[in-house]
Structure 1
């Protein structure tokens, strides 16, 4: 009788596992994929098998979400999403905000921004929202002054006392430019992926009241699906908040 009961229990567990619906989320490796791994057990209890697809890219995850290749993505902030929808004609929407990754200035050649040389080379992201954000960081640090426009480019610099020379680079490759430039303004996920920590290695860092909170994104029409609701609940749980605070020690800040 005992063997029959054990066998029935195992069969039941197998059926639950077999019936779990797959939930596919596109993410950049650090910290997004790391955070998603924390919620795998919660999603499993809710009946979903989480599959994380990692990308070192800001375009493909959105296109994959639009095309239905993935159920959601987790890598971007709202200004980037809005600009992407506008330029690509996609129909993607935010569900929940998860964390802020303060953008920061890094260098292998100087220890303080006061040491920056006249005519120094500066690398910044080449996508519109992150480029504007990077320029704001440099303006706050006192290196440049900018026109008051929504999306800034180097053409909006009105004062550049150090005659800084700007190079626009794909965000993911910015850490590799540090040997060739005097300073680079890098998104935290790519900085951390290259072994840089904004709280320890940055020469200047974005304010914590930044509007650039990283969000979960789905295609319009899927925001009320069972998958999306389960993902939203798990990724804004107490467990995730504690993980972010413990793992990243202020380099990344919970936004819920």
Structure 2
């Protein structure tokens, strides 16, 4: 019996469907294996760095959704509350203080970069030229104030109590031979106040935002054994989640190393 031509075409098409469908199902399964993680970072230059990190993560099957903050206190709160899966903006002294004062359950999982803090001035060109009674601005948050005072001590401008540690405050100054006036200011303001001060200790990221340059920097903290390396952090208990290792690897590579040098103009150093 001869088969109707139309029926023959329909049967042939039906036989082809499984073969045509197989690649589509396979592709869909590959996408289902991807993971999306929410990462909190600070605004400005770090956004450009993390655009590179996000692309490196995409190559590894990890989608990074960034949340950008302008306030140092918010990323840890968001991570603790489950609004983020990770953040990347802080060093260990800062996190230790946050845990002590706020009870957070946050742990570092991989290093990012270090920004050596500097002493800047537009009135003198070297530390030795600072006058008696000079007004020196320092950040007022606990970890960065201690860091700033340590730099002033390293330059021979003040002496701190030996037991004061990295969270030293102005109350720990035991010798101030030049009668310096230490002015405590918000980290985001101290750099912008440079013209009203004789000098200021400013974090590198805020120095860039305040248009301070290396020509304005008259001293820099030592880099060797620096405790202020920044890192990626997650909520305690998630350190071994599979995506964590992938996220860290997406940062700790030569592509991001080159991006740090380009975007931060040599002021940020890889910390891994």
**TM over 0.5, shorter chain:** yes
Q: What is the SS of the residue equivalent to 2:232?
A: strand
Q: Which residue of structure 2 aligns with residue 203 of structure 1?
A: 218
Q: When the two structures are superposed, what TM-score results if normalisation uses the length of structure 1?
A: 0.88
Deviation at residue 11 of structure 1 after TM alignment: 9.8
Provide structure 1 residue ranges, at least 5 long, that are not aligned to the other structure. none
Distance 1:75 1:186, change over 3 A: same
Gaps of 5+ in 2: 1-18
Partner of 2:203: 187
CA gap 1:135/1:10 in 2 versus in 1, 3 angstroms: farther
In the superposition, relative to structure 1, how do residues 9 and 194 fare at CA in structure 2: closer, same or farther (>3 Å)?
A: farther
Are residues 249 and 176 of structure 1, via their aligned partners in 2, closer, same or farther at CA, if it must alter by over 3 Å?
Answer: closer
CA contact (8 A) 1:29 1:193 kept: no
CA distance in 2, matches of 1:119, 1:183: 12
Determine helix, strand or coil for the equivalent of 2:71.
coil
Give the count of matched residue pairs.
252
Partner residue, 1:229:
245
CA contact (8 A) 1:32 1:74 kept: no
How far is the alpha carbon of 1:29 from its aligned partner?
Answer: 2.7
What are the residue-to-residue correspondences of 1:96-107 with 2, within 5 Å?
Answer: 96-107=110-121
What corresponds to 1:112 in structure 2?
Answer: 126
Q: CA RMSD in A?
A: 2.6
Residue 255 of structure 1, CA deviation? 1.6
Task: Give me the whole-angstrom Cα distance separating, in 2, the residues matched to 1:13 and 1:220.
Answer: 34
SS of alignment partner, residue 177 of structure 2:
coil
Q: Distance in 2 between matches of 1:167 and 1:11?
A: 64
Write the deviation string for residues 93-124 of structure 1: whole angstroms up to 9, x where unpaired.
01011221100011232222222222222111
TM-score (structure 2 length as normaliser): 0.83
Deviant stretches of 4+, over 4 Å: 8-20
- The Cα shift of 1:22 comes to 2.6
